[in-house]
Structure 1
């Protein structure tokens, strides 16, 4: 093989290696983003169930128009799913839901305040 052909083979090998590294990095970012989206969706489900808890009378194992004694046990989704683990705390008409994803670096916190029948949600993302 000529010297030119050997240089061409080395160049192609380097290009393929760099492309492979970029592809792997892109896939990892995509997986992390998908996990973050899934955790956010689970938190929205928790908020929906928490809203029902808030309006349910205390005699029916609800909050009686308060989040004071709410816990993750009051939510049917439970404290974990395939997407991550969750914690719920509340006070008055404010509810905080924290979700830690299965991928490293995925953590979301939703602070929701019930105004009338609707939540006003503030999202916090930590990396």
Structure 2
């Protein structure tokens, strides 16, 4: 049981390290805060919250995997290597696709509510 609980400590340590050292991870955390703020401000539904939470989890997870892959690639191939570069580019591409999915989901959920809010204010 101690080993199991210690595993959580390692996981939080990894998340903390990413938050301290990775600009893109911090950018995604700010986007998370913005989405949560908008969600509360615009009173989104439970179903919409599920989509927002899914997007947040996917983007942050993709960014963590990307960081881990980059570190491992640098460890295994400290010198320039074309294939190592492809590995890093592909993992960054996975984050980009996930972020675009999250952005599209956010637009679908938040834009109509923001438009209504603007129309009522005008």
How high is the TM-score relative to the length of structure 2? 0.37
Q: Give the structure with the larger strand fraction.
A: 1
Q: Give the structure with the larger helix fraction.
A: 2
Larger radius of gyration between Structure 1 and Structure 2? 1
Could you say which structure has the greater relative contact order, defined with CA pairs below 8 angstroms and 6 or more residues apart? 2
How high is the TM-score relative to the length of structure 1? 0.36
